[in-house]
Amino acid sequence: MPEIIVEGGHRLRGELHIQGSKNAVLPILAASVLPEGETVLTHVPVIGDVAVSLEILSALGVSVSLADGRLTLCADSLCGDEVPRELGARMRSSVLFLGSLLGRRQKVRAAFPGGCAIGSRPVGLHLSVLRQLGAEISSGGNGLCGRVGRFTGGVVALPFPSVGATEQALLAAASAAGDTVIRGAAREPEVQILCDFLGACGAKIRGQGTAEIRVMPAPLHGCHFEIPGDRIAAGTYLAAAAATAGDVTVRGIPPEHLKSSLAVFRLLGCRVDEGEDWVRLVREGMLRPVPRLETGPYPGFPTDMQPLILPLLALASGESRLRENLFENRLGLAGELNRLGADIRVCDRLAVIHGVRSFTGSSVAASDLRGGAGLLVAALAARGVSRITGRRYIERGYEEPERNLTALGAAIRLIG
Ligand code: UD1
C-alpha cells in the first residue's frame, strides 16, 4: 500500500515556488470544452485530480497534450456528452462538466460526483442554477441527466455563496443566449480566476470578486492562460514551517489570497512577512493558542486550511476552539492526530483542543486530501518516525510534496 514515511523533528528552511492552483485549474478544464480552437494552459499542476479531468476530456473527444506543466487542449473534435461514470465518481469537480457540456452539446449525462469524504456534498445548488438558466435536469438512480435548447441567461440567485455552484453558473452563462447576473456569488480567488479565463476566451464579465457577477456571452475562442499559484498549497508549506519551528518562503502567490490564513499564523505567534508575490513565515517561540476560530466563505478563514491549522493548535501552549462551518466531517483527522499524541475532543462541528508539548511518531491514515496534508504537517513535527497511509489522497492535490519538503530539509520518503 502506498505510504509516506516521515522522520519528524527537522526544522524546515528555504524557499519554494508554489504549484499551480488545483481549485483554479479544475473548473478551467471543465470550461475548456467551450472555446473553439486551441487553448494553452501553463503552470498546470501535475496532480491526481488533473489527471482524472484529462481522462474525462479525452473520453469526450478533446485532444489533450501535457508536458512540463504546459497543457494544450482543443475541443473542436468533441463528440461525447457523457462524463464516464467511473471517472466522474472519483472527483467532486466532475459536476462542472454539466454546465459546460450542456452549453456545448445541449445534453449531458453524468454520475453523481465523488470526491473527498468530508461531508455529504450535495449538488442541489448546481442543479438549481442550471434550471434557473433554462435547463431540464433529472437526477435519480442512473445519476444526472440534462437537456437544454440553449441557456437563456437571466438572473441566477444563490442562497449560499457556493464556490462550485457559482462556477457552474459561470460555465452555463458563458454559452447563454443573453446576459446573466449571478446574485449571491462566491468571492473565492478561484472564481475570479475562472472569470479571467472565460474573459481571455472572449466572454465579457463584470463584478468578479464581488457577490454579483454579470456575464455577457460572446463566441469563445482558445487562448493562452497561466494558472496562478495555489493558495492552499502555499498555506500547507507555511503550516509545515510553523509546525517545525522553521523559516520558509513561498513564492508565486499573492499574499492577499492568503490574508485570513496569514492572520491565523500571526495569532499562533509566527512572524509573517509578505511581498508582492511571496510570503515568509518564521517561527521562533512556542505556538500560542487561538481561543476562537471558525471557517467561512472567502474572505473568511478557508475550510481547506482548517485541517492544516488543527495540528498547530494541538501543539500550542493552551486551549483553542475551532469550529468547522462548511463541511460536517472535516474534523475527522482529529482522531488520527490524537494517535500522534494530540488532545483534541470533537463535538459535532466544534473541536476543543488542549495543546501538548510535542507529538510522537505513529501510524496514521489519511482519508481525504487536506486532512492527509494535515497529518503530514503533524508528522513533520513529531518525535520519531510516522507512517501515513492513504497517500493517493494527498497526491490528488499536491505536486511532488516529498520533493518539495525534502528540499526544505524534511526527512521523508515514499514507499509502495
Ligand atoms: C470548493 C473546493 C473545496 C473547498 C470549497 C469551499 C474545488 C474543487 N473544491 O468545493 O476545496 O473546500 O469550495 O471553499 O474547488 N452545498 C450545498 N449544495 C450544493 C453545493 C454546495 O448545500 O449544491 C454546500 C456544501 O455542502 C458546503 C457549502 O455549500 O456546506 C460549500 O460548498 P461549496 O462552496 O460548493 O464547495 P465546493 O465547490 O464543493
pLDDT per residue as tens digits for the range 25-48 = 999 999 999 999 999 999 999 999
pLDDT at 119: 59
Average pLDDT over residues 12-27: 98
**Probe residue for ligand 1, chosen from 56, 92, 98, 163 as the CB with the greatest number of ligand atoms within 8 Å:** 163
Q: How far is the CA of 328 from the centre of ligand 1 (A)?
A: 12
Q: Rounded to whole angstroms, what are the CA distances from 2 to 45, 91, 414?
A: 21, 20, 7
Other CB atoms within 10 A of residue 5 CB: 17
Residue 89 pLDDT grade (very low, low, confident, very high; cuts 50, 70, 90): confident
Other CB atoms within 10 A of residue 224 CB: 11
- 163: three-class secondary structure by DSSP: helix
180-183 and 212-216 strand pairing: antiparallel
Closest residue by Cα to atom 31, ligand 1, is 162
Q: Give me the residue label for grid cell 488545483.
A: 22
With 90 as the cut, is the pLDDT of residue 139 above it?
A: no
131 lines ligand 1 (CB under 6 A): no
pTM: predicted TM-score of the whole model, two decimal places: 0.97
Q: How far is the CA of 255 from the centre of ligand 1 (A)?
A: 23
Contacts for 325 with CB less than 8 Å, ≥ 6 apart = 294, 295, 296, 303, 349
Asked if residue 143 lies in contact with residue 127, where contact means CB atoms within 8 angstroms, the answer is no
Contacts for 122 with CB less than 8 Å, ≥ 6 apart = none
Closest residue by Cα to atom 22, ligand 1, is 122
125 lines ligand 1 (CB under 6 A): yes
pLDDT at 75: 97
With 70 as the cut, is the pLDDT of residue 362 above it?
A: yes
Residue 111 pLDDT grade (very low, low, confident, very high; cuts 50, 70, 90): confident
Q: Which residues sit opposite 339 in a β-bridge?
A: none
With 60 as the cut, is the pLDDT of residue 118 above it?
A: no
pLDDT at 142: 79
With 70 as the cut, is the pLDDT of residue 104 above it?
A: yes
Question: Euclidean distance between the first and final Cα of the chain, in Å?
Answer: 5
What's the CA gap between 415 and 3, in Å, rounded? 5
pLDDT at 76: 96
Burial code (b: 16+ CB inside 10 Å, e: under 16) for 189-216 equals bbbbbbbbbbbbbbbebeebeeeebebe
160 lines ligand 1 (CB under 6 A): yes
Nearest ligand 1 atom, CA 127 = 23
pLDDT at 356: 98
116 is catalytic: yes
With 80 as the cut, is the pLDDT of residue 120 above it?
A: no
327 lines ligand 1 (CB under 6 A): yes
Average pLDDT over residues 88-104: 94
Average pLDDT over residues 294-317: 98
**Probe residue for ligand 1, chosen from 308, 326, 368, 394 as the CB with the greatest number of ligand atoms within 8 Å:** 326
pLDDT greater at residue 411 or residue 91 = 411
Q: Give me the residue label for grid cell 468530508.
A: 118
Nearest ligand 1 atom, CA 161 = 34
Percent of the chain with pLDDT over 90: 91
**Probe residue for ligand 1, chosen from 160, 182, 260, 369 as the CB with the greatest number of ligand atoms within 8 Å:** 160
Q: Report which DSSP code applies to 12.
A: P
With 70 as the cut, is the pLDDT of residue 341 above it?
A: yes
Q: Give me the residue label for grid cell 488532545.
A: 343
Q: How far is the CA of 162 from the centre of ligand 1 (A)?
A: 5
Average pLDDT over residues 12-32: 98
Q: Left (φ > 0), alpha (ψ -120 to 50) or beta: where does 166 sit?
A: alpha
Q: Which long-range contacts (CB under 8 A, 24 or more apart) does 192-198 make?
A: 193/21, 193/24, 193/28, 193/227, 193/228, 194/24, 194/27, 194/28, 194/31, 194/167, 194/170, 195/170, 196/225, 197/28, 197/31, 197/223, 197/225, 198/31, 198/170, 198/174
**Catalytic position from the list 74, 116, 201, 270:** 116
pLDDT at 338: 98
Closest residue by Cα to atom 1, ligand 1, is 163
Closest residue by Cα to atom 37, ligand 1, is 164
Average pLDDT value for the chain: 96
23 lines ligand 1 (CB under 6 A): yes
With 90 as the cut, is the pLDDT of residue 416 above it?
A: no
Nearest ligand 1 atom, CA 125 = 23
Residue 406 amino acid letter: T
Percent of the chain with pLDDT over 70: 99
Average pLDDT over residues 289-317: 98
29 lines ligand 1 (CB under 6 A): no
317 lines ligand 1 (CB under 6 A): no
Q: Rounded to whole angstroms, what are the CA distances from 69 to 4, 25, 39, 164, 189?
A: 24, 12, 14, 24, 21
With 90 as the cut, is the pLDDT of residue 59 above it?
A: yes
Nearest ligand 1 atom, CA 303 = 12
Average pLDDT over residues 265-269: 98
Asked if residue 127 lies in contact with residue 101, where contact means CB atoms within 8 angstroms, the answer is no
Q: How far is the CA of 119 from the centre of ligand 1 (A)?
A: 10
- 350: three-class secondary structure by DSSP: strand
